[in-house]
Structure 1
Amino acid sequence: MKRSRFVQRHMRRLHTDLGRRALNFDPGEHDVHRPESGWHVDDYRQPLPSEPPGPPVPGGPWETARDLVRDYQYADPAIIREILHSGPPEPGRDMLLEARFYGLRFYLGLRIGDVVDGVVEDDGRRARVYGWNYRTLEGHLERGQMDQEVRKWLDTGEVEFHVHAFSQGSSDPNPVVRLGFAVFGRYMQEKFYRRACRRMEALTLSALAARGTAAGPMAAGADAAGTASIRRRSTGRVDGP
Structure 2
Amino acid sequence: MIALGDWVFGRLDAVRAWRELADARVNYSVDEVRRPAWNIDLHRTALPEERPGPPEPGGPWEQACRLVRDYEFSPPEIVRALYDPAAPLLGRDMLLEARFHGMHFYCGVRVTEVVDATRDGDERVWGWAYETLEGHLERGKVMYEVVKRQKTGEVLFVVSCHSQGAPTLDPITSLGWRLFGRRTQLRFYRRCGQRLRLFVEATLRGEHPPPGPSSTSGRLVCAPTDARTHRWDALAIHRVAPG
- Report the TM-score when normalising by structure 1: 0.76
Q: Distance in 2 between matches of 1:151 and 1:68?
A: 14
Q: SS state of the match for residue 68, structure 2?
A: helix
AA of the residue aligned to 1:127: E
User: After the TM superposition, which residues 53-72 of structure 1 pair with which residues of structure 2 at under 5 Å, given as runs?
Assistant: 53-72=52-71
Q: RMSD across aligned C-alpha pairs, in angstroms?
A: 2.1
Q: Distance in 1 between matches of 2:86 and 2:107?
A: 17
Q: Distance in 2 between matches of 1:50 and 1:112?
A: 28
Contact residue 116 and residue 127 of structure 2 kept, 8 A = yes
AA of the residue aligned to 2:53: G
Contact residue 47 and residue 160 of structure 1 kept, 8 A = yes
Going from structure 1 to structure 2, the CA distance change for 1:116 and 1:155 (only over 3 Å counts) comes to same
Aligned to 2:148: 152
AA of the residue aligned to 1:12: V
Q: Which runs of 5+ in 2 are unaligned?
A: 1-9, 209-243
Can you list the C-alpha shifts for 1:69-124, whole angstroms capped at 9, x where unaligned? 11111110000011234546622221001111111100010011100112122xxx
Aligned to 1:23: 26
Contact residue 73 and residue 192 of structure 2 kept, 8 A = yes
Q: Distance in 2 between matches of 1:193 and 1:169?
A: 16
Going from structure 1 to structure 2, the CA distance change for 1:179 and 1:89 (only over 3 Å counts) comes to farther
Going from structure 1 to structure 2, the CA distance change for 1:11 and 1:170 (only over 3 Å counts) comes to same
Q: SS state of the match for residue 210, structure 1?
A: coil
Does 2:135 match 1:139?
A: yes
- % identical aligned pairs: 43
AA of the residue aligned to 2:97: E
Q: SS state of the match for residue 91, structure 1?
A: coil
Contact residue 139 and residue 177 of structure 1 kept, 8 A = no
Does 2:11 match 1:12?
A: no
Instruction: Give the superposition deviation at 1:138.
Output: 1.0
Q: Distance in 1 between matches of 2:204 and 2:163?
A: 34
Contact residue 137 and residue 169 of structure 2 kept, 8 A = no
Q: Which runs of 5+ in 1 are unaligned?
A: 1-5, 213-241
Can you list the C-alpha shifts for 1:172-226, whole angstroms capped at 9, x where unaligned? 25445434422321010011011111111101101121269xxxxxxxxxxxxxx
- Report the TM-score when normalising by structure 2: 0.76
Contact residue 119 and residue 128 of structure 1 kept, 8 A = yes
Instruction: Give the superposition deviation at 1:12.
Output: 1.2
Q: Distance in 2 between matches of 1:17 and 1:175?
A: 25
Contact residue 83 and residue 92 of structure 2 kept, 8 A = no
